[in-house]
Amino acid sequence: MIRISTLTIFLLMLLGLPLMSQVDQVSIGASYTQQAYYKISTGEVTQVPNDAWDISFSSAGIQDGGVFINESASLTETPLKVFLSTETDWATAITDLSPFVDSMVLYNPEVSWTQGAFNSIRNPNMPFDYGWGNYNPMSNSVQGDKIFVIQKRDESYIKFQIQQLIGEDYTFRYADLDGSNEVSYTISKNLSEGVSLVYFSFETGDMVDMPTDYDLIFHRYTTPLADDDGVFIPYNVTGVLLAPNTEAAIADGVDPATVMESDYTDQYTDSLKVIGHDWKIFDFVSDWMIDENRAQFVRTSEGDVYKIVFFDYEGAMTGTTTLEKTLVGTSSTIDQSIEELGLSIYPNPSTDFITIEGQQDDIRVFIYDSSSSLIQTENITQSSQKINLQDYQSGMYYILIQGKDYITSQPLIITK
């Protein structure tokens, strides 16, 4: 992670300098066949096929019990669907499929990573109700009391039950609707590894390794949208969800180039779909159009803050989103000194020249006056190079250096 001094951050935020701005592209594939896990600081994108996993279990803490269905599907795929069965006896075969229609599908609320589709039927006034089961204070466990039916991607059906959650272990079972081919499985929260979700595939019958170091997820999911009559209906959208332990604030109706994060510090939320899908709209004449008066501020789990501005979306042709990211704040409170980086700037105080010495790679140098106005920029390509200061009056200045993987700064005094 880039470590940036307090002085450096002050200069960057005060000036709105695009020094830390970079353009990244995130693709979920043509026809949206992938999920993309995006790390803002590095620009790394990890693509995972939509069908890599089927259900996931929250693993944020000892008391959470969120269970999610994988709603992602391409334009040509049938998504997984989960229904609540009226049957309460696991031993009884399920023969009537008429209740399992689209209007009865349970969806992930996309509000937090501790509330999934299997929790969506919980009574919010009952603190011990987890939806799929109820907490038993005597046994200190959640005991499953619901049976679900899952329609798989090939449109076949299985029944499914989370039997219990004891300590860190979820135990669940699934079978054909008549009870044949039953499988029982126990999956651990894996709290010691700091993993927020653990994943399972019905096709492999085992856990699935998924990305853990990411900030945003680009994929398709289901969300309620209002029709022309104001009635909300579930709709498949392509959008962005926050990773666990990530927050975001939305700046609407602004100039993304000049908007200040400091105006939105009280608006951060960890609601998963705060960024969502509506930063773009489909125009039948112009194809996909980006909301040009919007910016997203994202606070990562490391505490760094980025401004994210979307400026292109290619739709189903490539599934590619193009965005600009700008680091506007950092959690680091440790100043990186020039000396720590093996650099030296001398003389300081100076009269007419300074020499920058010791750099291993090409660097950029920015000099600011006491009002934080940028007055000089230099590209340094030699291990020792002079910078001319003859035209400047006596006073306090600041020098900021950008290297390959760092930014640092220090005061500069000029005396005549």
Q: Write out pLDDT tens, residues 209-220.
A: 999 999 999 999
Once rounded to an integer, what is the mean pLDDT over residues 184-203?
89
Our CA angle for 14, 20, 25, nearest 5°, is 135
Q: State the DSSP string of 277-291.
A: STTEEEETTTEEEE-
Q: Write out pLDDT tens, residues 244-258.
A: 999 999 999 999 988
Window from 61-65, 76-80, 84-88, 91-95 with minimum mean pLDDT:
61-65
Which two three-digit tokens encode residue 173?
A: 């079972």
* Enclosing H/E stretch for 6: helix 6-15
Which pLDDT score is estimated for 404?
63
Our CA angle for 198, 202, 204, nearest 5°, is 90
Cβ(90)–Cβ(161) below 8 Å? yes
Once rounded to an integer, what is the mean pLDDT over residues 156-185?
97
Start-to-end CA span in the chain (Å): 40
d(CA 45, CA 100): 36
Which pLDDT score is estimated for 387?
93
More confident residue, 331 or 304: 304
Once rounded to an integer, what is the mean pLDDT over residues 278-291?
87
Which pLDDT score is estimated for 60?
84
Which pLDDT score is estimated for 4?
43
Which pLDDT score is estimated for 37?
98
- Strand runs (DSSP E) across 243-337, as ranges? 247-252, 280-283, 287-290, 294-299, 305-313, 320-329
Residue 144 predicted with pLDDT over 80: yes
Which pLDDT score is estimated for 341?
77
Longest dimension (CA), the chain: 93
Q: Write out pLDDT tens, residues 223-243.
A: 887 777 777 788 899 999 999
**pTM for this prediction:** 0.77
Residue 408 predicted with pLDDT over 50: yes
Residue 299 predicted with pLDDT over 70: yes
Once rounded to an integer, what is the mean pLDDT over residues 122-130?
93
At 323, the pLDDT band (50, 70, 90 cuts) reads very high
- In percent, the amount of the chain with pLDDT more than 90 equals 65
Which pLDDT score is estimated for 16?
44
d(CA 9, CA 303): 14
Q: State the DSSP string of 212-240.
A: -S-SEEEEEEEEEEE-TTS-EEEEEEEEE
Own/partner contacts of 314-317, CB < 8 Å, gap of 24 or more, are 314/288, 315/282, 315/287, 315/288, 316/30, 316/31, 316/32, 316/75, 317/30
What domains lie within the chain, and their CATH numbers? 7-46+243-329 (no CATH), 54-208 (no CATH), 336-414 (2.60.40.3080)
Which pLDDT score is estimated for 330?
66
Once rounded to an integer, what is the mean pLDDT over residues 179-196?
88
